[in-house]
Amino acid sequence: MTMATTPAAPDLAMVDAWWRAANYLAVGQIYLRENPLLAEPLRPGHIKPRLLGHWGTSPGLNLIYAHLNRVIRERGTHALHVTGPGHGGPSALAASWLDGTYSERHPNVPRDAAGMATLFRQFSQPGGVPSHIAPGVPGSIHEGGELGYSLSHAFGAAFDNPNLVVACVIGDGEAETGPLAASWHGNKFLSPRTDGAVLPILHLNGWKIANPTLLARMPREELDALLTGYGWRPIHIEGDEPARVHADFAAALDEALDEIAAYKATAQRRPRWPMLVLRAPKGWTGPRTVDGTPVEGTWRSHQVPLAGVRENPEHLALLDAWMRSYRPDELFDADGHPTPIVLANVPAGDTRLGAVPEANGGALVRELPLPDLHDFAVEVTEPGASSSEPTRALGEYLREVFARTANRRDFRLFGPDETESNRLGAVYRATAKAWQEPVTDLDAHLAPDGRVVEILSEHTCQGMLEGYLLTGRHGVFSCYEAFTHIVSSMFNQHAKWLHACREIDWRPPIASLNYLLTSHVWRQDQNGFSHQDPGFVDNVINKRPEVVRVYLPPDTNTLLSVGDHTLRSRGLVNVIVAGKTPTPDWLTMDEAVLHCTRGAGIWEWASNDDGDPQVVLACAGDVPTLETLAAADLIRCRLPELRVRVVNVVDLMRLVPETEHPHGMPDREYDALFGTDVPVIFAYHGYPWLIHRLAYRRHNHAHLHVRGYKEYGTTTTPFDMVVLNDMDRYQRVIDVIDRVPGLATHAATVRQTMVDARTRHRAWILEHGEDMPEVRDWTWSTDIREPQP
Amino acid sequence: MTMATTPAAPDLAMVDAWWRAANYLAVGQIYLRENPLLAEPLRPGHIKPRLLGHWGTSPGLNLIYAHLNRVIRERGTHALHVTGPGHGGPSALAASWLDGTYSERHPNVPRDAAGMATLFRQFSQPGGVPSHIAPGVPGSIHEGGELGYSLSHAFGAAFDNPNLVVACVIGDGEAETGPLAASWHGNKFLSPRTDGAVLPILHLNGWKIANPTLLARMPREELDALLTGYGWRPIHIEGDEPARVHADFAAALDEALDEIAAYKATAQRRPRWPMLVLRAPKGWTGPRTVDGTPVEGTWRSHQVPLAGVRENPEHLALLDAWMRSYRPDELFDADGHPTPIVLANVPAGDTRLGAVPEANGGALVRELPLPDLHDFAVEVTEPGASSSEPTRALGEYLREVFARTANRRDFRLFGPDETESNRLGAVYRATAKAWQEPVTDLDAHLAPDGRVVEILSEHTCQGMLEGYLLTGRHGVFSCYEAFTHIVSSMFNQHAKWLHACREIDWRPPIASLNYLLTSHVWRQDQNGFSHQDPGFVDNVINKRPEVVRVYLPPDTNTLLSVGDHTLRSRGLVNVIVAGKTPTPDWLTMDEAVLHCTRGAGIWEWASNDDGDPQVVLACAGDVPTLETLAAADLIRCRLPELRVRVVNVVDLMRLVPETEHPHGMPDREYDALFGTDVPVIFAYHGYPWLIHRLAYRRHNHAHLHVRGYKEYGTTTTPFDMVVLNDMDRYQRVIDVIDRVPGLATHAATVRQTMVDARTRHRAWILEHGEDMPEVRDWTWSTDIREPQP
Ligand SMILES: Cc1ncc(C[n+]2csc(CCOP(=O)(O)OP(=O)(O)O)c2C)c(N)n1
Ligand SMILES: Cc1ncc(C[n+]2csc(CCOP(=O)(O)OP(=O)(O)O)c2C)c(N)n1
Ligand SMILES: [Mg+2]
Ligand SMILES: [Mg+2]
């Protein structure tokens, strides 16, 4: 192993000492349950029974942290730290313990010998702390368990934080992932004036788990070209001799920060920002060879380089020597306190990376100055008499949110080039799209300080928004419904983060992550099958109920109400599914607020059940609601004696028992709404079995019949989409006739008329290429009309 | 609009004619339902009622296709075409109609006036064809509805096709996506000797939907650096003057193909392969301005540049002039046949891009020479007496598959740097990991012609595998279970493609896409919460049942049987969830084959129900099976009089009714297996509600109680994971006691012992950091042992 003994240049002695201390602590966490200060030679009994953790990345991460500490101390840099290789938990925990921040947040782990013992013992152990850079680590906004999102998180953190430098360590393996590869281009959106800086630090340790990395192994000039092509100026630091690397890294970091400061002072548009490339051995300073096989500087150092320490005396001796190579007696006094030379490299107070306020966004987040919903409401004189485009109205509302946050700059909208297509374009009257590249007169709404971010990368949108929220701001991600699947996995990780934060009292909740899923399955008839997929919600509701909400507002005013509600909420992921095409306006603003607050309710004006329904027509989603009302209309004309109740569900989680979700309905309420023994014919926006999965414990479950998207899609007319999936008004009437006991014979003619209507529909669209006028032009009316043939 | 009139260089006249013809046909598809040959001036009645489609990308795509035709004709290039911007359906349809291949595959659309009329009318219309490059387009292996996967598809197609040149058009917007950004590095895996070539053609038309693209707007030298950094040598073609662009494009394409040929002849490792960059206006040759607003060369040309054609006479006149600007009378004779000058640019027979055999993989795919399973089986003398690592045995089996396909080279394994970690390392005894970069003596198993592909990009793995399968080969994607979510969306798109192909008789099914999900939720105790997510399956089963299968083999021999079965299957996505850690061997190979063929069955040796169970202990997945057997063991020791049936489910789709899935069980079989009125205590590998979603129609549904992963995870011991989620053996015994009528009082002491065991477990792991010996060392035994305290 390389002994970290070479004396560093005078002013770097404390950096080196800090580095050695952090390395020592990282190794200790992986191996030791006793004898943390090596007061006696290591014995098998000192070793943990399960050896877990990732050593390989840790020395490099520690080096970077050590040097960030130096510039924070010396230059007063206001820095936030994001670590891509989140498996480097031992490093992050060591660093924040040295900071003192770990002990401040976790008083049971003081910065002394007892604390060090706990630090070691708790790592990756039952009842202890996770092996990754989880929310329990002070200063972390990025767990990094799933690789690829560090740099987009860093950009999100830097937006609208003009004084912040976000140092972002990127693993060379991580850099192979798609999300990371896309996110280098984040610099095209980062204003040198109104945003902070991002300083990527590519950690080129050469290896991932069992393979060399592409970036480390491709020709040097290609790597330089690649980074330059991404718009960065790489500054290289390379070596395995600590003193040399310390000196070079310090110089490089100073150079980069000087350059950043200069650009911040002068640049109007994107400069070629500096970045660092650290080429140093994986598992540096660890065992050079084990059992004759090279380990330091190879992929074999990725996890636990010495596996047999408990059984194999040679391994145990190697571990002992390895830990002592850091000269712990110079680093910790007899009581386990870090010595002055180590502490000299710890910055003060809130400038410590473990204490920087931006890393604990929940403590910073302020309430948004939201406007009065009524100013954006559509007027509704009678249910269904008019129609409007829901997202267009929401766009006006969001425009006002942008206007009111013009100075605070703590609200952003993210999207993959679809804001206009999703009919939210009104926001451009209050802000622009962020854009640092040249602008031509063919462009619209581009400006360096815009707060709408449009990049054709759902991953980057999601990652930037997460970073923005995690540092205490607000935002919305608007996306084609089908393509939110692209970020399913990122959503999972964020939801897990939010869930874990609920157990951490010093992390108050951040603003919720709000998805607006539009251009949805029923209105992608022109793009066809690839764009038709409502299944993101199915993934969302697998996550802990404490942190997820799903809303399906049926019209414009309900969308506004839900939008307002979600922007006020905290610590959640809110999914809103709403259409952009003209949709009947069912509820006035006041009714909408009441309905959305209830989350589900009877629409009396469409019902004639008088408290005793023979059938419940339930619906969730804008198109299902439209088809349900049209079916109710058909029924009241043709089967006027049938007692029908129409129930609309906005808040999907109302359907589950209250014991399962905070929004769940008690059984009594559910039974009152849906009945216990009448057929419930449910039209749901997405995959129909999702409703069964939510309601399978309910008393009426055997009477529940759900229609929804059954994965039949193509390029066709809007109404044909619902017919293809048996969710159309005619089929709903047929379902009613088939399910209500005793109705079948009586209503046989009506049933036949419905069957024929579906047949007529098919013939009509084939001939005319658009929907039948009776469908297209249908509106709800409070007057009951005569049945049409 | 730019008139495409400049005479092209002599040998390019036919290329230009073909281009104009394709442009004409693209416009016609978007607008016309009558008068395809413009025999009379356009009238509103000739126009479709719904104007759908994407014009902007089409002229560029057509230009590229025209030039590919030229080199195929002139040089005999064996080319396959992949088009990233799949919304360019009008272009692809036009091209294959000019090819003649469209009419060969769709005889109802002949290459004459009537056919042209149908071609126009069917586009994006009900009962017609999708707007994207769907499977119905001959020569397509890439729909491109969801952007980002073209280049990884292209690499997959090129692997092991040494004579193929895969020309891959990448949209400049598409290039912003993560998956696309990662996939440029595919060249590090492409052998110049044993693989084909990939020729990326970056379609730099400047815009996406409503924004400029990053790649078009960043400084030119950065673009060059970026592409060079990705390992390519860009050749630029730029202009808006057709003749110039024709000449330049032809020269560039020749240059690139010459270079490719030279490298193929000589290169041992990766050369810097050429690529093309075409900078030409979006919506080129379309209306230059509409209502005073620039359209050609702007984002406004993305979809339908003239929206008001039916109502607005000015727009109609513009459309008329636009279409006539291509001089259709030179391109089509009075009968609508393409004229000789157009046909002169159509290659012959199977070299046509619409006819290239590799684009119809199902017609090429050969049965794999699979070995005899028994040669890889573990010996099982008694159920549970031994244990083995399932994926390790599968690795040996796959090694033999690699060995047997060494010459055919039609089998590959893809993974994000986890093959070794997933214990499939045996394959390296038969093949290497593909790697074109330098190799050091620290590396293991890297070679240019290896057939294992490891890149830390789940997207690239998935995309390459899809491309490989779509061109008629076989493969497996092995991935950490949690991180398969990363490719949820790609899976969706592939499943949709497979489903659509079922309707196309000339596309025989390709080999199935086989996922091996391992390092799964119950055995990621060391990586913790971020790595614990079994929800990929939930997404999979939302797709059409015809194309998806899910298998949960409980042990090594069943994994082998399932592996073998899935490698024989066609046209499906198979998801296999299996562990890599030591797992009891329950079944002999012969029993395993029978059990897997049934998909679900009673394990008599663990049951004592004599055909009349009081409770059914059901399980699906390796860890649930282990806990179930351990529970059965506890029960037979402590409640020996209780009649217990143990049912194991391997094939998850057996649980749904036969009407819902091809593998679904008839009710009678289900009722026989699970009973109709006894409690079924089900332990499932993933989220428990998934079982309810599958079985909610079954008679016994009210008696079904499912345990599974409830999203409680962290870094802890393996057994603690099951305890945290209430799926452990002790809880299962408690569930039985609580659910079997009449048992509660009688078994109260046993129940209490179980509760205490959970408490003891908690205390033990906190103290010892590993599981209790009674848990860790438990094995099933045919002899019933005395209960332990
Ligand atoms: C998306 C994703 N795929 C796979 C993994 C499994 N994995 C954990 S660490 C690792 C290698 C990381 O290499 P690198 O980024 O270079 O980190 P370092 O070398 O610093 O450890 C992999 C593949 C993961 N965590 N995330
Ligand atoms: C992953 C994904 N996100 C968003 C979209 C919506 N979309 C369709 S076309 C398009 C713009 C494509 O631009 P480009 O790739 O440059 O194609 P071209 O300019 O040739 O039309 C977008 C964003 C999509 N199809 N896929
Ligand atoms: Mg690395
Ligand atoms: Mg483009």
Using CB distances shorter than 6 Å, the residues near ligand 1 are A 56-57, 85, 87, 146-148, 171-174, 177, 203, 205, 207-209, 213, 282, 302; B 416-417, 456, 483, 486
To test the ligand 1 pocket, which listed residue (A132, A174, A284) has its Cβ within 8 A of the most ligand atoms?
A174
Contact at 8 Å (CB) between A577 and A551? yes
By DSSP bridging, strand A644-649 and strand A446-447 are unpaired
Whether B671 and B523 map to the same domain: the answer is no
Whether A388 and A326 map to the same domain: the answer is no
| pLDDT of A151 higher than 50 | yes
Within A432-569, residue ranges assigned H as helices are 458-470, 488-501, 536-540, 556-568
Average pLDDT, integer, range A539-547: 96
Contact at 8 Å (CB) between A286 and A304? no
pLDDT digits (tens, 9 = 90+) for A211-260: 999 999 999 999 999 999 999 999 999 999 999 999 999 999 999 999 99
Burial profile A39-52: b = 16 or more Cβ within 10 angstroms, e = fewer: eeebeeebbbebbb
Q: Measure A187 CA to ligand 1 centroid, in angstroms.
A: 24
Whether A628 and A537 map to the same domain: the answer is no
Is residue B297 lining ligand 2, measured as CB closer than 6 Å?
A: no
The residue whose CA has the least distance to atom 14 of ligand 1 is: A173
All residues of chain B having their beta carbon less than 8 Å from the beta carbon of residue A443 are 211-212
Three-class DSSP category at B723: helix
Three-class DSSP category at B490: helix
Structure confidence at residue B435 (pLDDT): 98
Average pLDDT, integer, range A354-381: 98
Is residue B195 lining ligand 2, measured as CB closer than 6 Å?
A: no
Q: 86-145 in A: which are within 8 Å (CB) of B?
A: 86-87, 124-132, 134, 143, 145
Structure confidence at residue A731 (pLDDT): 98
* Boundary residue ending a domain (B522, B552, B584): B584
Whether B577 and B618 map to the same domain: the answer is no
Whether A638 and A713 map to the same domain: the answer is yes
How many independent structural domains does chain A possess?
Answer: 3
Chain B CB within 8 Å of residue A440 CB: yes
Residue B360 domain flag: no
Q: Measure A662 CA to ligand 4 centroid, in angstroms.
A: 45
Among chain B residues, the shortest Cα distance to A208 is held by B417
Is B535–A493 a contact, with Cβ atoms under 8 angstroms apart?
Answer: no
Contact at 8 Å (CB) between A73 and A253? no
The structure tokens 């989603």 sit at A621
| pLDDT of A201 higher than 60 | yes
Chain A CB within 8 Å of residue B265 CB: no
Q: Measure B505 CA to ligand 1 centroid, in angstroms.
A: 43
Chain A CB within 8 Å of residue B230 CB: yes
* Boundary residue ending a domain (A541, A559, A584): A584
Whether B564 and B652 map to the same domain: the answer is no
Map B215-236 to HEC letters: HHHCCHHHHHHHHHHCCEEEEE
Nearest to B770 by CA among B719, B709, B712: B719
Ligand nearest to the CA of A84: 1
- The CATH number of the domain holding residue A713 is 3.40.50.920
Q: Measure B566 CA to ligand 2 centroid, in angstroms.
A: 35
Whether B397 and B292 map to the same domain: the answer is no
Nearest-Cα distance to chain A for B196, in Å, is 21
Q: Which atom of ligand 2 is nearest to the CA of B84?
A: 15
* Boundary residue ending a domain (B351, B384, B405): B351
Could you report how far apart the first and last alpha carbons of chain A are, in Å?
89
Three-class DSSP category at B657: strand
Residue A782 domain flag: no
User: How many other C-beta atoms lie within 10 A of the C-beta of residue B228?
Assistant: 19
Q: Which two tokens stand for residue B576?
A: 């296999």
Task: Report how far Cα B159 is from the mean position of its chain's Cα atoms.
Answer: 17
pLDDT less than 50: residues of chain B: 1-8
Whether B380 and B316 map to the same domain: the answer is no
| pLDDT of A6 higher than 50 | no
Nearest to A269 by CA among A437, A399, A105: A437
How buried is residue A292: exposed, middle or buried, by Cβ count under 10 Å (0-12/13-18/19+)?
exposed
How buried is residue B697: exposed, middle or buried, by Cβ count under 10 Å (0-12/13-18/19+)?
middle
Structure confidence at residue A400 (pLDDT): 98
Q: 484-503 in B: which are within 8 Å (CB) of A?
A: 485-486, 488-489, 492-493, 496, 499-500
- Expressed as residue numbers, the domain containing B460 is 373-584
Chain A CB within 8 Å of residue B240 CB: no
Task: Report how far Cα B639 is from the mean position of its chain's Cα atoms.
Answer: 49
Is A533–B492 a contact, with Cβ atoms under 8 angstroms apart?
Answer: yes
pLDDT digits (tens, 9 = 90+) for A586-597: 999 999 999 999
To test the ligand 2 pocket, which listed residue (A414, A456, A459) has its Cβ within 8 A of the most ligand atoms?
A456
Whether B298 and B439 map to the same domain: the answer is no
Average pLDDT, integer, range A40-44: 97
Nearest-Cα distance to chain B for A66, in Å, is 26
Q: Which two tokens stand for residue A484?
A: 């939110």
Is B530–A143 a contact, with Cβ atoms under 8 angstroms apart?
Answer: yes
Structure confidence at residue B525 (pLDDT): 77
By DSSP bridging, strand A289-290 and strand A293-294 are antiparallel
Is residue B173 lining ligand 2, measured as CB closer than 6 Å?
A: yes
Nearest to B453 by CA among B187, B108, B98: B187
- The CATH number of the domain holding residue A456 is 3.40.50.970
How buried is residue A785: exposed, middle or buried, by Cβ count under 10 Å (0-12/13-18/19+)?
exposed
Average pLDDT, integer, range A570-575: 98
Structure confidence at residue A788 (pLDDT): 56
Three-class DSSP category at B274: strand
The structure tokens 């209105």 sit at A523
Residue B363 domain flag: no
Residue B786 domain flag: no
CA distance B465 to B446: 19
User: How many other C-beta atoms lie within 10 A of the C-beta of residue B375?
Assistant: 11
Whether A180 and A151 map to the same domain: the answer is yes
Residue A593 domain flag: no
Q: Measure A299 CA to ligand 2 centroid, in angstroms.
A: 39
Q: Measure B243 CA to ligand 4 centroid, in angstroms.
A: 22
Whether A416 and A563 map to the same domain: the answer is yes
* Backbone phi and psi for residue B734, each to the nearest 5 degrees, phi listed first: -60, -45
Q: Measure B89 CA to ligand 2 centroid, in angstroms.
A: 13
Q: Which two tokens stand for residue B544?
A: 């059409």
Rg (CA), chain A: 30
Which pTM does this prediction carry? Answer: 0.97
Chain B CB within 8 Å of residue A182 CB: yes
| pLDDT of A4 higher than 60 | no
Q: Torsion-angle region of residue A274: left (phi > 0), alpha (psi -120 to 50) or beta?
A: beta
Whether B618 and B564 map to the same domain: the answer is no
CA distance B288 to B304: 13
CA distance A528 to A229: 36
Chain B CB within 8 Å of residue A442 CB: yes
Structure confidence at residue A651 (pLDDT): 98
Chain A CB within 8 Å of residue B263 CB: no
Structure confidence at residue A787 (pLDDT): 60
The structure tokens 């002229």 sit at B59
Dihedral of the alpha carbons of B532, B533, B537, B539, in degrees to the nearest 10? -160
Give the CA distances from residue A622 to residues A119, A519, B660, in Å, rounded to whole numbers and listed in that order: 53, 12, 27
Q: What type of residue sits at position A359?
A: A
Residues paired with residue B644 on neighbouring β-strands, in sequence order: B615
Structure confidence at residue B1 (pLDDT): 40
Q: Which two tokens stand for residue B1?
A: 């609009």
Residue A152 domain flag: yes
Q: Which atom of ligand 2 is nearest to the CA of B172?
A: 16
Mutate to test the interface with B, among A457, A709, A721 (most CBs of B within 10 A): A457
Within B136-207, residue ranges assigned H as helices are 150-158, 178-183
Residue A361 domain flag: no
CA distance A344 to A540: 47
Residue B2 domain flag: no
Chain B CB within 8 Å of residue A526 CB: yes
Cα dihedral sign, A186-A191-A194-A197: positive
CA distance B484 to A157: 27
Contact at 8 Å (CB) between A232 and A239? no
DSSP string, A337-406: PBPHHHHTTS--GGGSTTT-GGGSGGGT-----PPPGGGGPPP-SSTTSSEE-HHHHHHHHHHHHHHHTT
pLDDT digits (tens, 9 = 90+) for A296-322: 999 999 999 998 999 999 999 999 999
